[in-house]
Amino acid sequence: MKTGRLIWLWAVLIGVGRLGAFDLITRDEVPYVITWEPGTITLQLKLPAPTRALTDGASSFNASVQAAMQTWNGIIGTVRFDSSVPPAGPNTAGNRINEVVLADKVGGEDFAANTLAVTVSYTIGDNRVESDIVFNATRTYDSYRGPLRADAYDLQRIALHELGHVLGLGHPDEAGQTVTAVMNSRIGNLYELQADDIAGARTLYGAPATVPANDAFASAATIVVTSPGLSVTGTNIQAGKEAGEPNHAASAGGRSVWWRFVAPVAGRLTVTTLGSNFDTLLAAYTGSAVGALTPLAGNDDAETPEQNPGDNRVRTSTITFDVAAGVTYYLAVDGWDGLFGQITLNLALAAAAGSPPVITAQPVARTVAAGASATFSVTATGGVLSYQWYFNGNAISGATSADYTIAGAQVANAGSYHVVVSNFYGSATSNPVQLTVTAPSVPVAPSSGGGGGGGGAPSVWFLGALAALAAGRRFAAMRR
């Protein structure tokens, strides 16, 4: 892995706010924008406690930064700011931890004149991997809305600006633009994100996602388990937690989505979230209502920190439980501490010993008059079975039952038929059988009046008669 590289120092300057579209931070001189991987950007908020009450009632400067984080979270899609609040202290450059601190120097040097704060960022390739925000300790701060005051700077709006740099936004005014934006280089009376700021951030991370279709238990996405190993994908971005919903893996979570499947056979199922890009919670249930589920298994982390001492960010969850053929199971994926992102769900089914279906009664050849119906049937053993009928070697759409009926068989339907019966373990192919369609003699019309009477049978007669006509006058000649 390459070492992170210091790429940009962005500062917000003291001055009069002024009015120029957004500017994106790019890699070197080429137009590759720098972004974070989808998921959570966690910042350690290490600002010291304020020495006097903050005007807006915020409990701390760290809380002011959190408010600014929530503002950005509300308008972007694939990433989300989150925070932890360790004791106040300095930042460490290049440690892959995003720190927000108050200091009188940045990287060992004094702040440039009129600089309130600096965001120092590191990147590998096109990925942002670390950003530290350093507020200038030689200035006086409060937390408030409205016009900029002379006695103290509003730390929240500075945080809003610096977090824009963390996301990958530059200064529009320094890119030759004249726009109204929090991201302009000079602080002013603006304390809310402007349209240009939002457009810039959404260029990098999209708009907030819509609620996933499988957010609710009752709307669980269906997995069809047709093979021993399969994966499905999804997201819990914008998902929520339902009233009465259990805590998955004994953790509060808060952004769950659901899948359901019917076990095709008995066996032992292992499910993992390997490949998901956030710290997941995973649990399995049976039951028919979100408030009345029977838990089967739950897991937060597949590996404990002791098992994986080199990485304290264990994200993958794994569960194993026994399944019974024909039973419906539910899987819930949530985010640890409400985290969210893209989900990969992997199922591996070690099926109990079993074997492919056995056909115990083969279909039999049929000979029917044109216009009559013909039915083929098969009987097989082997648990949960599926069927596919074929005509002259081609699968027949919709012919997926043990019986297949051709209503009103015509000459074109004559040919070879067979069926493949499948279960989880394999398949069995029936003997091919022939359908022969004979052209019937045109029946003598009943003396008691025509074939137009009510009921279904007479109309079949008419179909048969029409087919016979299609066969040509030769029949008529023979009848004579």
Stretch of 5-13, 367-375, 379-387, 432-440 contacting Zn ion, by CB under 5 A? 5-13
Q: How far is the CB of 11 from Zn ion (least distance, A)?
A: 5
Stretch of 2-10, 90-98, 359-367, 428-436 contacting Zn ion, by CB under 5 A? 2-10
Q: How far is the CB of 12 from Zn ion (least distance, A)?
A: 4
Q: How far is the CB of 295 from Zn ion (least distance, A)?
A: 49
For residues 133 and 83, the answer to whether their CB atoms sit within 8 Å is no
State yes or no: residue 376 binds Zn ion (CB under 5 A): no
Q: How far is the CB of 16 from Zn ion (least distance, A)?
A: 15
Stretch of 12-20, 68-76, 215-223, 453-461 contacting Zn ion, by CB under 5 A? 12-20
Here the contacts of 144-151 (C-beta below 8 Å, separation 24 or greater) are 144/54, 144/55, 144/56, 145/56, 145/191, 146/189, 146/191, 147/189, 148/17, 148/187, 148/188, 148/189
Lookup: tokens for 274: 């390997």
| Contacts with Zn ion, 252-291, as mask; x by CB under 5 A | ----------------------------------------
Stretch of 9-17, 63-71, 282-290, 447-455 contacting Zn ion, by CB under 5 A? 9-17
Listed in order, strand segments (DSSP E) in 93-193 are 98-103, 105-106, 109-110, 115-124, 127-136, 141-142, 153-154
DSSP state of 211: P
State yes or no: residue 10 binds Zn ion (CB under 5 A): yes
Number of residues that bind Zn ion (CB under 5 A): 2
Q: How far is the CB of 119 from Zn ion (least distance, A)?
A: 7
Between 181 and 419, CB nearer to Zn ion: 181
Between 171 and 418, CB nearer to Zn ion: 171
Between 12 and 333, CB nearer to Zn ion: 12
Residue nearest to Zn ion (CB): 10
Which of 12, 155, 263, 302: binder of Zn ion (CB under 5 A)? Answer: 12
Given the structure tokens 């590289």, which residue do they identify? 5
Q: How far is the CB of 64 from Zn ion (least distance, A)?
A: 17
Expressed in percent and rounded to 5, the helix, strand and coil fractions of the chain are 15, 35, 50
Q: How far is the CB of 44 from Zn ion (least distance, A)?
A: 21
**411 residue type, one letter:** V
Q: How far is the CB of 162 from Zn ion (least distance, A)?
A: 7
Stretch of 4-12, 32-40, 74-82, 397-405 contacting Zn ion, by CB under 5 A? 4-12
For residues 268 and 246, the answer to whether their CB atoms sit within 8 Å is no
**3-state SS, residue 461:** helix
**125 residue type, one letter:** G
Between 123 and 423, CB nearer to Zn ion: 123
**3-state SS, residue 72:** helix
Alpha-carbon span 33 to 28, nearest angstrom: 10
For residues 46 and 101, the answer to whether their CB atoms sit within 8 Å is yes
Lookup: tokens for 398: 């919709």
477 membership: H or E segment, kind and range: helix 473-479
Between 139 and 366, CB nearer to Zn ion: 139
Task: Encode burial over 443-473: b for 16+ CB neighbours within 10 A, e otherwise.
Answer: eeeeeeeeeeeeeeeeebbebbbebbeeeee
Give contact residues for Zn ion (rule: CB under 5 A): 10, 12
